[in-house]
Amino acid sequence: MGEVLADDLERIASSHSDAASARGEIITITLLPDDTESITITVQSNHIVQDIIQEALKLSAAQIRLVMVSLGGDAVEMTMCFEENGIEDGARLEVSLPRKATFHEVVQDMLELNPDCTKVIIDPFK
């Protein structure tokens, strides 16, 4: 009977500590997007980085897949939580947002990838 009671106490203590760790520590981080002002947010350390950044920057699912986040120059794993990435209270995360390429950039890339192609200037007014 004493052994069963000890097992029950251990199980209850374990579930209590699991519930506390499931909430995660509350931390404040600053997001530093490329072309916009910084954004300071408060999150739980066990939240997934991608979900929080997508919500904070109001990005679509397609946009968030193209985002790169770094901490002190080191890439952050977007599918992991802040804690697993070593992100602590007061951290500043650099956020590289996707941008659309200009027509000129697309043409340049095509020319570089296809050396046999040549650039022809199109004048719509001729």
Q: What is the CATH number of the domain that holds 33?
A: 3.10.20.90
> What does the pLDDT average to over 64-84?
95
What is the domain extent for residue 62?
25-113
Mean pLDDT of all residues in 98-124: 78
Say if 17 falls within a structural domain.
Answer: no
Residue 67 lies in a domain: yes
pLDDT at site 34: 85
- 75 or 126: which carries more pLDDT confidence? 75
Residue 13 lies in a domain: no
Over residues 78-101, the pLDDT tens digits come to: 999 999 999 999 999 999 987 777
Residue 103 within a domain: yes
Closest CA to 39 of 51, 52, 50: 52
The answer to whether position 15 is within a domain reads no
Tokens of 102: 């200009």
Residue 6 confidence (pLDDT) above 90: no
- For residue 93, is it within any domain? yes
Structural domain includes residue 124: no
Average confidence (pLDDT) over 108-118: 83
β-pairing verdict for 26-33 and 92-96: parallel
Domain count, the chain: 1
By C-alpha distance, which of 37, 36, 69 is closest to 52? 69
Kindly state whether residue 36 falls inside one of the protein's structural domains.
Answer: yes
* Rounded (10°) CA dihedral 48, 27, 36, 73: -70
